[in-house]
Every structure is written in C-alpha cells, then in structure tokens.
Amino acid sequence: IKVKMNDKLQLLEAIISMVHDKKVSQSFSEDVLLRLLEEDVITKKEARLMVAALDREVLILPLPDRDVLRSRILEAMLVALKYD
C-alpha cells in the first residue's frame, strides 16, 4: 500500500525532524532515499541525483563535518520536496 499525498507530507516532515541538526551517514541517507522512492515521493532520477550529491566522495570533509553537511543538504532537499 502506497502512502497518500497527506501521508507523503507527514513522511517528509517526520524525516526532516529526524535529520534536523544531526549527523547523517551516507548509509542512513541512502536508506531514507530508498524509502522515499518506495513510497513514490521521489522518482528514480531524483533519487540518483540526491544520492550523488550526498556521496562521501563529493563531500570531501573529515568526519563529523561531512555528516553534518550531508544532514543539512538532505534536509534542504526534503524541504524543497514538501513544496513540489
């Protein structure tokens, strides 16, 4: 059963609250994106773009700064999706 539009908004809001001001690993961010893909909140193309932007090879910073930056980027992407 796929989530409805209102449920999609609630899902996005729940994930945003989970990542706000946190350190987010690459693996966690990929799990989040997979869930959003499964729930038809994002397309495969959007998921690939988001995974690429959040990759550790792109965010060339030492830990924990890299995970903090990943969290902020992921949160910004999720907020943008809320208003799509």
Number of domains the chain contains: 1
Query: Rounded to two decimals, what is the model's pTM?
Result: 0.91
pLDDT confidence of residue 84: 75
pLDDT confidence of residue 31: 98
Rounded Cα distance between 81 and 60, Å, is: 25
CATH of the domain at 62: 1.10.1200.150
Our CA angle for 28, 38, 34, nearest 5°, is 20
Rounded Cα distance between 26 and 71, Å, is: 9
Question: Mean pLDDT, 10 residues at a time, over the chain (84 residues)?
Answer: 74 96 98 96 98 98 98 98 88
Residue 14 lies in domain: 5-82
Q: Are 43 and 26 in contact (CB under 8 A)?
A: no
pLDDT confidence of residue 36: 97
